[in-house]
A and B are shown apart, each in its own frame.
Chain A
Amino acid sequence: MTKPKFKFTFWRVVAALILIAGAVATFQRFVYGLGYATHLSDDFPWGLWIGFDVISGVGLAAGGFTITAIVYIFNLKKYHCIVKATVLTAFMGYVLVGTALLWDLGKYYDIWHALVFGNHHSAMFELAVCVASYIGVLALEFSSIALGKFKWLRKPVKFLKKSYILLVILGVLISTLHQSSLGTLYVIVPEKLHPLWYSRLLPIYFFFTSIGVGLGMTVVESYLSWRGMGHEAPLPVLANLVRGMVVIQLTFFVAMFEGLIVSHKLGYLVDGSFESGMWWLEMALWVFIPTIIAFRKKWMMTRFGVFAAGFSGVLGFLMNRLNVSMTAFQWSAKVKYVPSWQEMAVSASFVVVSFIIFAYAVKYFNLFHEEDEESIEESAVKAV
């Protein structure tokens, strides 16, 4: 493995500047309070830190349960090569989400209350319990994959590998619950959410589309690690992930659109409002563009085509979660909310941190390389 010497490239300087801004913002937030550091207010209590860091972040880490389910439950072994990378990113993603939440909570040091004094009528309690236990499951999954290279850990790792399928099933169950509970959070505000996004089926929509973005993110990560380090998963594997994503998005689109028809909301699509524009943009990125690319054989043969489809899907997903948490809510709030620079700096810092961790992990854990001794069902993998 070649280790390039540290150089001041353009992106490194940008990353450093973002982290510095993030540090200043963090200082201001914890010393002077949320009112000073954010543009949140009584009329708009949840902003970028909830909408992006938490609600979108949990979704973007959905690759963990999606890919492990495909490989171990549905036994599609040719996708085994991306398990390591997705489990790692999921683990990292959830840890970062949990950390980012500390910036937003007024009494961050009491975050553990959510697990101890649970109110089982609250969707947020469900979310907290599931995310916390899923971090535990991912930690075990990840250790069984990654720690095999350390000799003194062989024994516990072997045990983990034996029970790996249990971890996978548990992980899928918990993910089903908390991906959907992100949508459940908004079921209780029928008056406040713009009609284009409000639906009592939000929990189902959120769960279903998290599978799609799990596939999309895997494609994007693989492409980035190829650009950065030359490691990647085979193209046909990634192309199939994009096709899977498109099928999920189309299914979702039909279901959601039927919902708009039966509840007589189609008028909102063409009323020329800011919200309707955001809805169309979201759908273009999330559904239309990936679909068009996926149905062109020629484009799907190229690395860039596959990446573009996956990336568009991920962007569309992001827009959807931000639209639900901010655009749709702002519609009923009395104020216009634009995040403060501090909010943006902190959120951007978390993105930078995840890039750095990912880059090191790709190198250190050989993320996209298959090692025979690391697979749980060796014979099956070899057969592929």
Chain B
Amino acid sequence: MPKAMLVDITECVGCGVCSEACKKEQKLPGPVGKKKDYANYTVLREEGDDVYVRELCMHCTDPTCASVCPVSALHKTPEGPVVYDFDLCIGCRYCMMACPFGVPKYEWQKPIPKIKKCIMCYDTRIKKGLPTACSQACQEEGGGATYFGERSELLAEAHRRIKENPDTYAPHVYGEHEVGGTNVMFLAPKDRPFESLHFNTKLPEEALPELTWQVLNKIPVIVPVWATFLTGMWWLNNRKTEVEENEGSKKIRDEKHGEGEND
């Protein structure tokens, strides 16, 4: 069953222990930054009125990054995390172009750069059945806003909260349906709905890889048709010349040929 995280923005106090725990777990250099980059997989976005929003990879159910990667260096694990394999990566940066949440980052300063993004502590924790470093730190030392668990259970919990406290929560679970659903989900305060917190609320509910697939799956259909047409045209047009050569005198043939060219 896929693991997931739920961030209840109403409970977040902006202490930042999540980002610190992430740095330690993933051995990322430097102090905690304000923007996601190669050394910061998760950061806090300040939205005023003591509202803080965590930014991190959403671990989409049908990840755009993995679908565009030509070599499958990014892939979705059955446990939920979307992980990265540097050995396969060719550094084309299509994943950065395509991710609807602007998550994958690059080691621009290095001659041989890696793609860097949150991998939901896949190797060190999820595989062993442990919760992510950020959620554990948040529950134990922070404000207790980031929860870890089964996606279905967290989703049920989110809806329960909205139903029981309609005055506290905006009536939407961000990540339930966005781009086909994500494994990181958010709850927003009633007076600060997601639009006002710089969430992209215009994303379609259909998974984006479907857009490309609708094009690519036509290829096996088009190729035989197109090949038949081209071969047929070749046969037709060259046969015309052949017939003309056998039946007419040279002069007539030349005239006819001239007409044929102008169509």
Give the B-binding residues of A (Cβ under 8 A). 30-36, 40-43, 45-46, 69, 72-78, 104-108, 110-111, 113-114, 117-126, 128, 165, 168-169, 172-173, 176-177, 180, 184-185, 187-192, 200, 203, 329, 377, 379-380, 383-384
CA separation between A74 and B111, bound complex, in Å? 49
- Shortest A168–chain B CB gap in Å is 8
Contact A45 B106 (CB under 8 A): yes
Within 8 A of A (CB), among B170-217: 200, 202-204, 208-209, 211-216
Is B253 positioned at the interface, with any CB of A under 8 Å from its CB? Answer: yes
Contact partner of A121 (CB less than 8 A), chosen from B100, B110, B216, is B216
Within 8 A of A (CB), among B18-73: 36-37, 64, 66-72
> Interface-forming stretch among B3-11, B91-99, B127-135, B139-147?
B91-99
Contact A75 B212 (CB under 8 A): no
Is B89 positioned at the interface, with any CB of A under 8 Å from its CB? Answer: yes
Query: Which residues of A are found within 8 Å of B100, using beta-carbon distances?
Result: 191
Query: Which residues of B are found within 8 Å of A180, using beta-carbon distances?
Result: 215
CA separation between A343 and B125, bound complex, in Å? 42
Contact partner of B111 (CB less than 8 A), chosen from A30, A168, A190, is A30
Is B237 positioned at the interface, with any CB of A under 8 Å from its CB? Answer: yes
Contact B96 A45 (CB under 8 A): yes
CA separation between A176 and B229, bound complex, in Å? 13
CA separation between A271 and B240, bound complex, in Å? 54
Query: Which residues of A are found within 8 Å of B105, using beta-carbon distances?
Result: 42
> Interface-forming stretch among B151-159, B160-168, B219-227?
B219-227
Contact B230 A73 (CB under 8 A): yes
Contact B234 A72 (CB under 8 A): yes
CA separation between A119 and B76, bound complex, in Å? 13
A-B contact pairs, 26 of them (CB 8 A): A33-B111, A34-B108, A35-B108, A75-B238, A75-B260, A76-B261, A77-B257, A107-B112, A110-B88, A110-B90, A113-B88, A114-B70, A119-B70, A119-B71, A121-B213, A124-B69, A124-B70, A177-B219, A184-B212, A184-B215, A187-B211, A191-B202, A191-B203, A200-B211, A380-B238, A383-B254
Contact B211 A190 (CB under 8 A): yes
Contact A36 B91 (CB under 8 A): no
Query: Which residues of B are found within 8 Å of A74, using beta-carbon distances?
Result: 233, 237
CA separation between A249 and B234, bound complex, in Å? 25
**Residue from A43, A117, A128, A384 having most chain B Cβ neighbours under 10 A:** A117
- Shortest A163–chain B CB gap in Å is 13
Contact A69 B241 (CB under 8 A): no
Mark each residue of chain B from 235 to 251: 1 if its CB lies under 8 Å from any CB of chain A, else 0. Answer: 00110110001000010
CA separation between A35 and B112, bound complex, in Å? 11
Is B2 positioned at the interface, with any CB of A under 8 Å from its CB? Answer: no
* Sample of 9 more A-B contacts, CB < 8 Å, known A122-B69, A180-B215: A33-B113, A75-B237, A75-B241, A110-B88, A121-B67, A121-B212, A125-B71, A169-B234, A173-B223
B interface size (C-beta, 8 A) = 63
Contact B261 A78 (CB under 8 A): yes
CA separation between A104 and B36, bound complex, in Å? 23
Query: Which residues of B are found within 8 Å of A118, using beta-carbon distances?
Result: 70-71
- Shortest B249–chain A CB gap in Å is 12
Q: B89's closest neighbor in chain A, by CB?
A: A107
Contact partner of B108 (CB less than 8 A), chosen from A33, A123, A192, is A33
- Shortest A150–chain B CB gap in Å is 29
Query: Which residues of B are found within 8 Å of A191, using beta-carbon distances?
Result: 100, 200, 202-203
CA separation between A200 and B212, bound complex, in Å? 9
- Shortest A46–chain B CB gap in Å is 6
Query: Which residues of A are found within 8 Å of B114, using beta-carbon distances?
Result: 106
Contact A106 B112 (CB under 8 A): yes
Contact A169 B230 (CB under 8 A): yes
With A113-B71, A114-B90, A185-B94 as given contacts, are A73 and B233 in contact (CB-CB < 8 Å)? yes
Query: Which residues of A are found within 8 Å of B254, using beta-carbon distances?
Result: 383
CA separation between A329 and B97, bound complex, in Å? 9
- Shortest B61–chain A CB gap in Å is 15
With A165-B234, A190-B204, A191-B203 as given contacts, are A117 and B223 in contact (CB-CB < 8 Å)? no
Query: Which residues of A are found within 8 Å of B36, using beta-carbon distances?
Result: 42
Contact A42 B237 (CB under 8 A): no
- Shortest B118–chain A CB gap in Å is 14
CA separation between A382 and B66, bound complex, in Å? 55
5 interchain residue pairs of minimum CB distance = A106-B91, A35-B108, A75-B237, A125-B70, A124-B70
CA separation between A32 and B208, bound complex, in Å? 35
Contact partner of B113 (CB less than 8 A), chosen from A34, A123, A184, is A34
Contact B230 A42 (CB under 8 A): no
Contact B113 A124 (CB under 8 A): no
With A45-B96, A106-B89, A106-B91 as given contacts, are A119 and B72 in contact (CB-CB < 8 Å)? yes
Q: A41's closest neighbor in chain B, by CB?
A: B108
Q: A325's closest neighbor in chain B, by CB?
A: B97
Contact A31 B111 (CB under 8 A): yes
Q: B111's closest neighbor in chain A, by CB?
A: A33
Contact A120 B90 (CB under 8 A): no
- Shortest B122–chain A CB gap in Å is 19
Query: Which residues of B are found within 8 Å of A383, using beta-carbon distances?
Result: 241, 245, 250, 253-254, 257
With A121-B212, A124-B94, A380-B241 as given contacts, are A188 and B67 in contact (CB-CB < 8 Å)? yes
- Shortest B64–chain A CB gap in Å is 6
CA separation between A191 and B231, bound complex, in Å? 40
**Residue from A35, A42, A74, A377 having most chain B Cβ neighbours under 10 A:** A42
Query: Which residues of A are found within 8 Å of B213, using beta-carbon distances?
Result: 121
Contact B257 A173 (CB under 8 A): no
Query: Which residues of A are found within 8 Å of B234, using beta-carbon distances?
Result: 72-73, 75, 165, 168-169
CA separation between A110 and B85, bound complex, in Å? 13
- Shortest A22–chain B CB gap in Å is 18
Query: Which residues of A are found within 8 Å of B106, using beta-carbon distances?
Result: 34, 42, 45, 106
- Shortest A304–chain B CB gap in Å is 25
